[in-house]
Amino acid sequence: MTAPIIAFRTDATAKVALGHLRRCIALATALRGEGAKPAFFCFDDAAARAALAETGFPCEWLPTEVGAAGDVEDTIARMRRARPAFAVVDSYVAGSSYFEALGGAVPALACFDDFGHVDCPVQCVINGLADANTLCYRAPVALLGPRFLVLGPEYWAPVAAKTPDRVGTAMITMGGIDHYDLTTRLIRLLARIDPTIRIHAVVGPYYENVASIEAAAADHGRVTLHRAPPSLQPTMVQSDFAVSAGGFTLYELAAVGVPAVGIALWENQRPNVAALGDRGIVVPLYYHDGAAFDAQLATAIEELMRDPARRRERAQAGQAFIDGQGARRAARAIFAAIGHMMEAT
C-alpha cells in the first residue's frame, strides 16, 4: 500500500492551550511508525509552531481557528489539494455540521471526543478517557477507553514508579493556562508545609502570571521553573508526587507512576478527576473560589505527602490503568481501517 497521507486539523491557542495539538502529534508519530505520512493544518500560533518545529511533520498555517468564519471552507479547499486518505479533527468547537461538511471532502474522517458525543458523523472516533468504553458511538470504528488513550512516545516505554518513604520533590503543573494563579499559591503552600521540599513548577506557554510565579520561586529558593517544556515526562520522573490540573496530564502522571492531587479547574475536567479519583489513582479536588479551597488543598497535599503506603498504592493503580500504549493501538486500528477502505474501492 502506498504511504497514505493522514491530515490533522487542530489548533493551539491561548484559549485552548496545547493539549489538542500534542495528542495529535502523538498519534501522528505512531501513524508515521506504521508507514503513514501525517500532515497538519493549524491556526498560526507561536506556541503551535514551536511544538511542531521538531516533529518533521509538514504543516499549513491557517488564518482562522477551527469553527471561525470561513474556516470550514478554507479547510475543505486545503484538504482537497492535499488529498489525504484520512483526516483527524481534534477541537471542542467542531460539531456535527463541521464534520458533515469536512466529511464530504475526504474519504474518511476521525475525531477525538472527550464529551461522549455518540452521534458524531464520522467514520472513526477516539475517546481514551476512563469510562469511554461504556458509550455507544454510531461511528463504525470506535477506539474507546484507556487502551486507546493517546499519549506521546516518551510514555510508551515502561517506567518504574519512584515512591520513596519521604517526599523530597514535588511537581506543579496547571496546564497551558493558569487563570487562578494556582502555581504561585502552591509554591507558597508547599513552602509552609515543608520548607525543605524541592519544587518543579511548570510554566505554560500562555501563562499571564509569570511574574508572580517568579517572585514566589525566589522567596522559596528551592524551585526550578520549567518554561513551556516540549514534554513533562522528564520532570515527572524526577518528582515524588504532583499537584496537577485535571486534564490529560493526570493520565500522563498515572502512566509514569507519580501519585497526584488532581484539580478540576473547568467543567470538562470534572469527569477525568472523578473517574481517576474513584479508581484510587488521584486525590480528587474541584476548584472553587474562596479560602475554603486553599484549606482543602493543603489537607489533601499533607495527607498524601505523609503517607508513603498511600502514595505507592496510587502509583501502582495508575500504572495498572494506563500503560502508555494507546497511541500505537489507535494508529494500528486507523491504518487497518484505511487498508479496508482501499480494498473496497
328 plus 193 within the same structural domain: no
Domain with 339 in it: 5-153+324-344
317 plus 330 within the same structural domain: no
Q: What is the dihedral of CA 56, 50, 272, 165, to 10 degrees?
A: 100
Segment 291-319 mean pLDDT: 96
Segment 285-301 mean pLDDT: 95
Whether 312 has a pLDDT exceeding 60, the answer reads yes
Give tens-digit pLDDT for 88-134: 999 999 999 999 999 999 999 999 999 999 999 999 999 999 999 99
132 plus 194 within the same structural domain: no
331 plus 297 within the same structural domain: no
Residue 47 sits in a domain whose CATH number is 3.40.50.11190
Query: Given this model, what pLDDT does residue 162 score?
Result: 84
Whether 345 has a pLDDT exceeding 60, the answer reads no
15 plus 148 within the same structural domain: yes
Query: Given this model, what pLDDT does residue 64 score?
Result: 97
Give tens-digit pLDDT for 254-273: 999 999 999 999 988 999 99
Number of domains in the chain: 2
Share of the chain above pLDDT 90, in %: 91
Closest CA relative to residue 107, chosen from 326, 334, 327, 330: 334
110 plus 144 within the same structural domain: yes
17 plus 141 within the same structural domain: yes
Give tens-digit pLDDT for 19-43: 999 999 999 999 999 999 999 999 9
Helix axes 71-82, 96-103, angle to 10 degrees: 30
Are the C-beta atoms of 76 and 101 separated by less than 8 Å? Answer: yes
Query: Given this model, what pLDDT does residue 91 score?
Result: 97
Segment 289-304 mean pLDDT: 94
Whether 339 has a pLDDT exceeding 90, the answer reads no
Segment 180-201 mean pLDDT: 97
Neighbours of 293 (CB within 10 A): 17
Are the C-beta atoms of 150 and 126 separated by less than 8 Å? Answer: yes
Query: Given this model, what pLDDT does residue 54 score?
Result: 87
Segment 52-73 mean pLDDT: 96
Are the C-beta atoms of 89 and 98 separated by less than 8 Å? Answer: yes
Give tens-digit pLDDT for 216-241: 999 999 999 999 999 999 999 999 99
116 plus 240 within the same structural domain: no
Query: 338 falls in which pLDDT band (50, 70, 90)?
Result: confident
Query: Given this model, what pLDDT does residue 276 score?
Result: 97
